[in-house]
Amino acid sequence: MLRLSPVVAALALATHPASSKAAPLQPTGKWVVDYTPSSCTARRMFGDHAISIVPSPLGSSTRVIIEGPGRALRARQHPSMVDPADGRGAVKASSLIYPLKAKGRRGIYSVLPNDLVARMLGSGKVEIRAGKQGSRLIWDDRSASSMGAALAIGGGASLSRAIETCKTDLRTHWGMIDGALPEPAIANQPKGDVQGVFRHEDYPEDAIAAEQSGTTSFTLMVDEKGAVMDCAIRESSGIATLDAMGCQVLRERAKFIPARDLAGKPIKSIFLTPSIRWVMQ
């Protein structure tokens, strides 16, 4: 099931070095809320740039991805700052700068709290900087280890309503009622311990180098065959690589005995993982 819903809203995006600010890029298309069977993505193009906002149907976090030209050798974690420009100050975060499949393109991947995204949409502005040189946060798009974006978002209320509508439709598609998880006659069951699918070698190199640990919990959307269709961050560890690696591992390795209805027919279901604790030993 796929629904495309254009939303009238104004967004401007710009990237530039820390030393100067260029005029924001103007959008080259309308907001489009892409509703798939497992996720909602609000996306808008700005010539060779794009921004995507991917909320979790459950939980307190939202994935924000900004794409643009530039080089990145591989996915690397960097400290970042997110400033909704609402006078309440910037928020420290952790983001991934990673190469896209298309040559010469890269992205910034951040998992942000819903209240920060609400501030972003409410103020109509956001500034994101990712990258570090020594102890100083830098923003220089010529570097493979830093990237920045300045966004002037108009029509935030329209976009917020469209995202909420999409999330509501997604919950309905997965059998939720009034925001509550369905109670199938027979609940889905993981094949083995979900925490047991993680291995020592899964610990991200960047997190090891920075001696970072944290706890993440996930929302898994499981289809009628017991496969994980999507993974969303329910509670973020605050460490980009830990969150991203956790979802990657669960998508690839977690398997389920599907839930069943009263007639014994396999049905779609949602599984809330226990907390996954990343600890170096």
Of 246, 193, 175, 258, residue with least CA distance to 216: 246
85 within some domain:
yes
Q: Which of 175-179, 183-187, 207-211 has the highest mean pLDDT?
A: 207-211
Mean pLDDT, rounded, for 165-182: 72
pLDDT > 90? residue 182: no
Residue written as token pair 């090891």:
208
pLDDT > 60? residue 10: no
The reported pLDDT for the residue numbered 59 is: 74
pLDDT > 60? residue 12: no
Mean pLDDT, rounded, for 31-51: 83
| Of 19-23, 42-46, 64-68, 205-209, the least confident | 19-23
Whether 200 and 164 map to the same domain: the answer is no
pTM, 2 dp: 0.79
Whether 78 and 25 map to the same domain: the answer is yes
Whether 47 and 118 map to the same domain: the answer is yes
Residue 173 CB burial class (10 angstroms; 0-12, 13-18, ≥19): middle
| Residue ranges making up the domain that contains 240 | 187-278
Whether 144 and 90 map to the same domain: the answer is yes
CA dihedral 162, 167, 169, 175 (to 10 degrees): -170
Of 134, 148, 150, 133, residue with least CA distance to 70: 148
Whether 46 and 124 map to the same domain: the answer is yes
The reported pLDDT for the residue numbered 139 is: 53
Domain count, the chain: 2
Whether 166 and 213 map to the same domain: the answer is no
pLDDT > 50? residue 7: no
Point out the domain boundary residue: 138, 172, 206: 172
Mean pLDDT, rounded, for 251-261: 90
